[in-house]
Amino acid sequence: MDIATQIFWLFILAIPIACVSWTVTHEEVFREPREWCVNRSQNDKKFLKRKFFYLFTCEYCFSHYVTFFFVFFCNFKLLITDWRGYFIAGFSLIFLANIYMSFFALLRQTIKKEKVEIKKMETDTNELQE
């Protein structure tokens, strides 16, 4: 692959990595398993078990494993065609996927803030009308 194609794949492949990582670590559909993992990561007696279960609660940590899967599933290498290309691709994808997740978190926070402000304005308007 030429460098332009690799960069294109880098930006595109980071999207599903960010989506999977965010969904597992934040969304309602995985709330019960995530809460169970949070409990185990905080209360298990064994250090390695605590760290293992923490991986499913942190989007940054979990994105490493999702990236590992996608890099080998798609056979994606960046800049170099041997094993070092996998290494570079993996960390580049993790970096970019986490940027995407940060932007998404900011967007969600802004939307939530606007909804609260609109609700407050509606409540204030209703109180003035009464």
DSSP letter for 130, please.
-
Once rounded to an integer, what is the mean pLDDT over residues 21-45? 90
Q: Is 98 within 8 Å of 14 (Cβ atoms)?
A: no
87 pLDDT above the threshold of 90: yes
Supply the pTM of this predicted model.
0.79
Band of residue 130 on the pLDDT scale cut at 50, 70, 90:
low
Other Cβ atoms closer than 10 A to 101: 21
DSSP letter for 2, please.
-
Q: How far apart are CA 83 and CA 112, in angstroms?
A: 43
pLDDT in tens, 107-116: 999 999 999 9
Band of residue 56 on the pLDDT scale cut at 50, 70, 90:
confident
Band of residue 94 on the pLDDT scale cut at 50, 70, 90:
very high
Band of residue 126 on the pLDDT scale cut at 50, 70, 90:
confident
Mean pLDDT of the chain, nearest integer: 91
Band of residue 90 on the pLDDT scale cut at 50, 70, 90:
very high
Rounded (10°) angle between helices 83-129 and 59-74: 130
Band of residue 59 on the pLDDT scale cut at 50, 70, 90:
confident
127 pLDDT above the threshold of 90: no
Ordered alpha helix ranges (H), 27-82: 31-43, 47-54, 59-74
Tokens, residue 61: 């940590």
Q: If DSSP states are collapsed to H, E and C, what string results for 87-116?
A: HHHHHHHHHHHHHHHHHHHHHHHHHHHHHH
